Amino acid sequence: MVTFYGKTFASRLLIGSALYPSPAIMQDAIRASGSNIVTVSLRRESAGGKTGESFWKLIRELDVAVLPNTAGCRTVREAVTTAKLARELFGTSWIKLEVIADNDTLQPDVVGLVEAATILIKDGFEVFPYCTEDLSVANRLVEAGCKVVMPWAAPIGSAKGIINRDALKLLRERLPDVTLVVDAGIGAPSHAAEALELGYDAVLLNTAIAKAADPVAMAKAFRLGIEAGRTAYEAGLMNARDFASPSTPVVGTPFWHAVS
């Protein structure tokens, strides 16, 4: 079980709703993932016409919590405005906050992110900020009132997995009471399992499932990977060693010698 702003969920996988080959495959993949939370872009919903209405109907049929996001926003003002529109449209104070600084890497504008988070929290929002793995940025977001922080594993859609393991591990150690979600860059179930093995509370992903040859099967694979990672973390992983250690000890073991 994982808790976000006082609400508890069974699944530790948050899943996106974009890029799927068809609406039906999107629904089937989300169901196969076991996810209880689906991210939705306001820009897609507000594109207008019956398409947006039909899409929103499909999401409601899934009986999941909706996490709107400010994807594509480049300024604090744009992100704050988009968040307010999302709250009105989706009827939730939750917002996945993105303020993008660079078009190529989609790296967050961490200065603008903290500013936008501060404004939104004062306005009653419960913010899920997408940030880098920088400890100082995470601390500023927590000081602003964020109870959830979502550092990336790698750039969005890169599928590289965790590229700065030590930084993510440090975040987990220094923020033991904050709900931490690895968001972006996850490309394989093993990447998700690694994040959970580090003690992260959940993983948010989209592209790795939506762009798979079989999104439904991949969604199931990620569900299993996350379950395995969390179970391993709770069981207690052994520490890595520099030297070999025999699985069958020889000290104290009796030896028999043939008598000539």
The first and second tokens of residue 117, run together, are 């988070």
CB 73 within 8 A of CB 86: no
The first and second tokens of residue 39, run together, are 């991210």
**Where is the binding site for 1-deoxy-D-xylulose 5-phosphate, in residues?**
157, 184-185, 206-207
In angstroms, the CA 191 to CA 205 distance is 11
Which segments of the chain does DSSP mark as H helices, in order? 23-33, 42-45, 49-61, 76-90, 110-122, 135-144, 165-174, 189-197, 207-210, 215-235
Residue 159 CA: distances (Å) to CA of 44, 165, 186, 209: 23, 15, 5, 11
Which DSSP string do the residues of 210-249 spell out, in sequence order? HTSSSHHHHHHHHHHHHHHHHHHHHH-PPPP-SS---SS-
Tell me how long the chain is. Answer: 260
Catalytic residues: 96
**Where is the binding site, in residues?**
157, 184-185, 206-207
